Amino acid sequence: MGDLFSDKLELNGVAVCAGALDRPAQEQMVKDLRLLAGNAPFRQYQTPGGRKMSVRMSAAGALGWVTDRSGYRYDPHQPDGRDWPEIPEGVLAVWRRFSGVNRIPDSCLVNFYGKGAKMGMHQDRDEADTKWPVVSISLGDDALFRVGSAEPRGPTKSVWLKSGDVAVLSGEGRMVYHGIDRIRFGSSDLLPDGGRLNVTLRVAG
């Protein structure tokens, strides 16, 4: 995808750009996400096995990601039947800047990590075509990002993601296992009550 980042760190094929978004850009994105949540409220989903996820999730675009006893999937409608809202323009601008592709994403997932929340190691593999990158934006509290390999029990590397950092999963890093082990709750004052927002853009359909 070329040298897109001036301050780039590589973890097993995943590119991390520290400080990609300055404070005003972060604040504007949080405002946009608050408006988004008014039309697509954050929900605490249940896994197919019946476990409640520790993160709360919202989405925008043509497709949102949902999970329940029926399984993991992208769906054109929210659980209450409404369409998902449009992806905010400021979020799309990050995709254009860092994705390295011309296609526009059709799905924007927004995860909120409160105190004690985490995300287990997983692959992003529910998309129809996994050749397209995933662009991830961190807002708020620091998060310990762990990246493995394409094998479920491969060696891992970790880095603390800070507010304004952007990570790109593409090429050899597109199908690596990755997760969030924990957050440093209260390490950022971007969100008044603490916590972390993670915004991920992708071509899902």
| SS3 category, 37 | helix
Write phi, then psi, for 101 (nearest 5 degrees).
Answer: -130, 160
Is there a contact between 39 and 61 (Cβ–Cβ < 8 Å)? no
Maximum CA extent, the chain = 43
| Single-letter amino acid, residue 150 | A
- Residue in the block written with tokens 């997983």: 122
Q: What angle do CA 145, 148, 149 make, to 5 degrees?
A: 150
Domain residues of the chain, as ranges? 8-202
| SS3 category, 23 | helix
Q: Which fold has domain 8-202?
A: Jelly Rolls (2.60.120)
For the chain, give the number of residues.
205
- What's the pTM value of the predicted model, to 2 decimals? 0.93
Give tens-digit pLDDT for 133-143: 999 999 999 99
The model's confidence at residue 96, banded by pLDDT at 50, 70 and 90, is very high
Tell me the angle at which helices 23-39 and 89-98 cross, rounded to the nearest 10 degrees: 130
Give tens-digit pLDDT for 176-197: 999 999 999 999 999 999 999 9
